[in-house]
Amino acid sequence: MDHFIEIQSRGPIKGGSFYQFAETQFEIKVKSIRSDNGPELFLKSFLASKGILHQTSCVETPQQNGRVECKHQHILNVARALMFQSHLPTHFWSYAIKHVIYLINRVPSPIIGNKTPFELLFKQSPDFTMLKVFGCLCYASTHVSHRHKFDPRARRGIFLGYQTGIKGYVIFDFDTKEFFVFRNVQFDEMTFPFKNPGPTSPPTLSLPHGPITPSVDPFFIKPVTLPSAHRHPLVANQPIHHTIHSPSTSHSTTPSLPFETPSPSPPLNPTPQLPPRQQSQRESRPPAHLANYYCNSFLPEPISSSSKCSHPLSSVLSYSRFSSPHLHYLMSLSTDPEPSSYQEAKHHVCWQEAMKAEVEALELKHTWTIVDVPPNVKLIGCKWVYKIKRHPDGSVERYKARLVAKGFAQIEDVDYFETFSHVVKMTTVRVVLALASIHRWTIQQLDVNNVFLHGDLSEDVYMTVPPGLSISGTHKCCKLHKSLYGLKQSSRKWYEKLSILLLSCGYQQAQADYSLFVKTADSSFTALIVYVDDIILTGNSTD
């Protein structure tokens, strides 16, 4: 059986110890060794004494040593990934390599039937509970016996792998620059302390290069679950604790390591980290040429950094990501406020014209007649409501003013009687649409303009003269003939009028839903669904 030795370091190969290990642990005799012609592998006397065949590749033909080279590549690929992820300095390469071997031995491979190498060797599946992310931040609990009440309870470190034969984690404490093995550790596997290098230089660890190398054993070692008798020969020739105290005095120029505050995400606003600048005491103002413009949403940089406001809005709210048409829309929204009362609107020509148009339309329909205020009548107030209709780009489509009556002042049985108005049930809509779908009827939609102004008022309702309407003489009011927006009976009056019209045209109200009007004449069929001012019209003939 061939065994290959993976070369971890350029130190003298432990061929002898491997031979012993394989024999003791697995009762396997090493029969042959294949290697390249590296001088560190020449153990001729040893190999000869054990009767092991040493095969070497020819000069300049690493293909003949392919198995080792492939494994070598595999290990280095994974190790690079670990190093890039954790951003550890290259001094830690040996830990990475060791961890890679630990990982590879526990990753299933299709070549060996989707089993892990560990499983093949030990005939049991590996234990994954101790798997942690290499190079992540961790907190090792301090020794209970040596700490007093106000000592820190934990020390920060990075996770570097496992120690063979010890149930614990190898941790590098980057404050004291010390390696240790410990069991009670909390891991923050999303944080890599070396990942965010500070503004100074990348961390140069003042560590002697040699002793960092962990106890590398390239073999399949079942680390912690072995009975103690089996563990003994392994740990005997290696120091378990290789604690290294960095010679910090000799390296006084070593910059402080940049992981004082390891943060999972980079700070959103880099401004607070800038060194304080000399700032003038003068109060900053926007330039004079901008005085006539609204620029609160357009400041490219918060000028409030020097103002008194400690939490300026601009630090949390920014318009910078809006597209230019949308910004244009927003700006026009804020520059053109909709007035909330007649007092505000009467100063603007656009609103005056809008109100004039509305009054003309109302008078054209004989909505009211001006009369003297009858005695013992409480007048209903009225109000202008203003709305700017806009195009999608924010430009003004039209200014719309609507006169509404203050219906809440109406008194029941005096100003109104019935207010109930039918609206269509959604079930009816669904059924009609389903029928239309099956019978392939066309479905059209109609919209009634100024819907409530069509209703005829039967009650005597007196309304105050709308503001802005110039009327000769005092003590006048409007006697309404048509319903206005805001009156309680408006929608009922509209429905009455519409239903009378439709019934006169030969339509019938459905018994199940009074908002459904149906007409059948010969072979043609028409249905109307009324929801206040929205009408759905469907039928089998378009004429």
Which among 102-110, 115-123, 381-389, 535-543 is the span making contact with another protein, rule CB under 8 A? Answer: 535-543
Contact 425, 413 (CB under 8 A): no
Contact 147, 153 (CB under 8 A): yes
Closer to another protein at the Cβ: 27 or 447?
Answer: 447
Does position 511 interact with another protein (CB under 8 A)? The reply is no
Closer to another protein at the Cβ: 65 or 489?
Answer: 489
Does position 537 interact with another protein (CB under 8 A)? The reply is yes
Element (H, E) at 404: strand 396-405
Closer to another protein at the Cβ: 404 or 423?
Answer: 423
Which residues are bridge partners to 67 per DSSP?
Answer: none
Angle, alpha carbons 230-236-239 (nearest 5°): 130
First to last CA, the chain: 95
Binding pattern for the stretch 76-115 against another protein, x by CB under 8 A and - elsewhere: ----------------------------------------
Q: Minimum Å distance from CB 519 to another protein?
A: 8
Contact 178, 244 (CB under 8 A): yes
Closer to another protein at the Cβ: 106 or 519?
Answer: 519
Q: Residue 158: which of 180, 138, 133 has the closest Cα?
A: 138
Which among 36-44, 157-165, 265-273, 530-538 is the span making contact with another protein, rule CB under 8 A? Answer: 530-538
Three-state helix/strand/coil letters over 208-223: CHHHHCCCCCCCCCCC
Does position 457 interact with another protein (CB under 8 A)? The reply is no
Decide the pairing of beta strands 524-531 and 516-521. antiparallel
Which residues are bridge partners to 169 per DSSP?
Answer: 162, 182
Closer to another protein at the Cβ: 349 or 438?
Answer: 438
Closer to another protein at the Cβ: 143 or 365?
Answer: 365
Dihedral sign, CA of 531, 536, 540, 541?
A: positive
Query: For residue 217, what are the contacts with CB-CB under 8 A and spacing of at least 6?
Result: 164, 234
Contact 400, 353 (CB under 8 A): no
Angle, alpha carbons 228-231-235 (nearest 5°): 125
Does position 364 interact with another protein (CB under 8 A)? The reply is no
Does position 493 interact with another protein (CB under 8 A)? The reply is no
Contact 410, 461 (CB under 8 A): yes
Does position 530 interact with another protein (CB under 8 A)? The reply is no
Query: For residue 300, what are the contacts with CB-CB under 8 A and spacing of at least 6?
Result: 320
Q: Minimum Å distance from CB 529 to another protein?
A: 8
Does position 543 interact with another protein (CB under 8 A)? The reply is yes
Closer to another protein at the Cβ: 371 or 446?
Answer: 446
Which of 119, 338, 344, 534 is the binder for another protein (CB under 8 A)? 534
Interface residues for another protein in 414-453 (CB under 8 A)?
426, 429-430, 433-438, 440, 442-451
Which residues are bridge partners to 402 per DSSP?
Answer: 385
Closer to another protein at the Cβ: 360 or 412?
Answer: 360
Per-position b or e across 318-337, b if 16+ CB within 10 A of its CB: eeeeeeeeebebebbeeeee
Does position 501 interact with another protein (CB under 8 A)? The reply is yes
Q: Minimum Å distance from CB 387 to another protein?
A: 18
Q: Minimum Å distance from CB 399 to another protein?
A: 20
Closer to another protein at the Cβ: 58 or 434?
Answer: 434
Q: Minimum Å distance from CB 398 to another protein?
A: 15
Closer to another protein at the Cβ: 28 or 435?
Answer: 435
Which among 125-133, 194-202, 321-329, 501-509 is the span making contact with another protein, rule CB under 8 A? Answer: 501-509
Which among 16-24, 59-67, 375-383, 495-503 is the span making contact with another protein, rule CB under 8 A? Answer: 495-503
Dihedral sign, CA of 159, 163, 166, 172?
A: negative
Find tokens 């026009």 and name the residue: 332
Closer to another protein at the Cβ: 45 or 542?
Answer: 542
Q: Give me the phi and psi of 533, to 5 degrees please.
A: -105, 0
Supply the DSSP symbol for 258. Answer: S
Does position 526 interact with another protein (CB under 8 A)? The reply is yes
Would you tell me which residues interact with another protein (CB under 8 A)?
426, 429-430, 433-438, 440, 442-451, 454, 498, 501-502, 505, 507, 519, 526, 528, 531, 534-539, 541-543
